[in-house]
Amino acid sequence: MPPRVRFAPSPTGYLHVGGARTALFNWLYARRHGGTFILRIEDTDVERSSADMISGILSSMTWLGLTWDEGPGVGGPHAPYFQTERLDKYRAAAARLVESGAAYYCYCRPEDLAAKRAAAEAAGSAWMYDRTCVVLSPEEVAAREGAREPRAVRFFVPAGGTTFTDLVRGHIAFAREHIEDFVILRSDGYPTYHLSVVVDDVEMEITQVVRGDDHISNTPKQVLLYEAMGATIPDFAHVPLILGPDKKRLSKRHGATSVGEYETQDYLPEAMINFLALLGWSPGGNQEVFSREELVERFTLDGISGGNAVFNSEKLDWFNQQHIMRLPADDILRRLTPAITAAGLWRDSFFTTDADWIGKVIELLKPRARKLGDIVPALAPFVADIVVYDEAAVTKHLKVAGVAAHLSAWLQVVEGLPSLEPAATEAALRVLAAARGIKPGVLIHATRVAVVGQSVSPGLFEVLDLVGRDRVAERLRAYAS
């Protein structure tokens, strides 16, 4: 049976990196085994959930390429995939549990429970629900139901012990005596998390529950619910937390934590995926840069480590550069089309007659780009008719005694060359410098500033070749005497 896994975010915030990593692990597992990846929105906390957060989560998942096979927008055999649209199922499940004796109605008023808890705490002891309502006779229950008294449904935690096996943590045993009879359906008819998550995971035939470590303490209660429902218990894999560089739980203090912020900051989704995959999972070996397909091929749940992972944004920057380097020029061009257009640098010929040329320009600029968008302004000297000059660079390298005369001689050489093939152009520059008794650097710096407008650029002779002889000559002329 191919696996069925799910990502089940509560839309009380945007998709943060921890959630994205959980989604990624589920997605990789499903793709690796030809399984199904389900997206389920756990929006029963109506007050803290919002439509905005839901669309933010969906859009971040889409940006990361974590496509879901069942869920919002795509539907599926277990629709709807929003928990607020599934309330009937939770109420029916709670009723069945009451019927089978696994759960019972609790009419205790919240204020009475609070008072009992406060009294116990004042006496220095922890309080667990005292089962006041477990002893109500069927007649009394019928009467109170008839009177429509507000009531919750509590799960009756049987005595004994239970164990489950976590694929990351191993064998986990827990004694039930520390688990109180927990509420599964509140008096307002809304399920608690334990009920809704189990009802849905059972109905959606989830085979592996891969989720954050913060849910490990919830698992015993959920195992009890599976047992009471007579359902097959899925495998669990609790993924360790993501920490900041100071080894504290990753939070806003450490910088951007939502996936949307990384999208805005122009990181490549490929880099983000690669980076997140290696936070707490290791394929073994030394390879660090992986394409999405390679990750799918290599992913296993037992590669998830038990130790917490540290979020290092410099490492993310490194992955970003590595993935920029791996992108073919035409792909970069397609991704940057809107930005290049907005910068007024777009030419339709980029995809036709100039495709080769612009491809070479992009290849030349790629290694210097920390973010993909860095390529856009760097295209200007190649594409725009007018160069924007950095005044400091002009003062330093062009407005220097003698430079205009040197450039004038260099201009003549350039005009006489058949093309600006890099090696030949460099040789010609060095010959001229020697003949004029100056260091080649004087001509190199002056030429760079005259042609590019800046004192830094990729290798000058490659730049000159791609800018083209006529334009180079024109720009040299402007500073020659």
Closest CA to 229 of 151, 136, 155, 141: 155
Using CB under 6 A as the binding rule, whether residue 279 contacts ligand GLU is answered as no
Q: Which stretch binds ligand GLU (CB under 6 A): 8-16, 63-71, 153-161, 403-411?
A: 8-16
Using CB under 6 A as the binding rule, whether residue 329 contacts ligand GLU is answered as no
Q: How far is the CB of 215 from ligand GLU (least distance, A)?
A: 5
Which three-class secondary structure state does DSSP give residue 105? Answer: strand
Distance spanning both ends of the chain, measured CA to CA: 79
360 neighbors 308 (Cβ within 8 angstroms): no
Q: How far is the CB of 390 from ligand GLU (least distance, A)?
A: 49
∠ CA(318), CA(238), CA(186), 5° rounding?
125
Using CB under 6 A as the binding rule, whether residue 215 contacts ligand GLU is answered as yes
Which three-class secondary structure state does DSSP give residue 6? Answer: strand
Binding residue (CB under 6 A) for ligand GLU from 42, 43, 70, 181: 42
Active-site hit among 248, 252, 399, 439? 252
Q: Which stretch binds ligand GLU (CB under 6 A): 6-14, 139-147, 161-169, 254-262?
A: 6-14
Between 197 and 443, CB nearer to ligand GLU:
197
Using CB under 6 A as the binding rule, whether residue 195 contacts ligand GLU is answered as no
Using CB under 6 A as the binding rule, whether residue 211 contacts ligand GLU is answered as yes
Binding residue (CB under 6 A) for ligand GLU from 197, 224, 237, 369: 197
Q: Which stretch binds ligand GLU (CB under 6 A): 4-12, 119-127, 130-138, 257-265?
A: 4-12
Cα–Cα distance measured from residue 474 to residue 450, given in angstroms and rounded to the nearest whole number:
10
Quick one: tokens of 472?
């180079």
Catalytic residue list contains 439: no
Site string (140-179) toward ligand GLU, x via CB under 6 A? ----------------------------------------
H-only helix segments in 417-459: 422-436, 440-452
∠ CA(76), CA(80), CA(83), 5° rounding?
135
In the β-sheet with 170-175, what is the strand arrangement from edge to edge?
36-39, 4-7, 208-212, 235-239, 161-166, 170-175
Binding residue (CB under 6 A) for ligand GLU from 3, 4, 5, 9: 9
Binding residue (CB under 6 A) for ligand GLU from 3, 4, 5, 8: 8
Q: How far is the CB of 279 from ligand GLU (least distance, A)?
A: 17
**Side chain identity, residue 220:** P
Tell me the DSSP string of 353-369.
TTHHHHHHHHHHHGGG-
Using CB atoms within 10 A of its CB, is residue 123 exposed (0-12), middle (13-18) or buried (19+)? exposed
Binding site for ligand GLU (CB under 6 A): 8-10, 42, 197, 211, 215
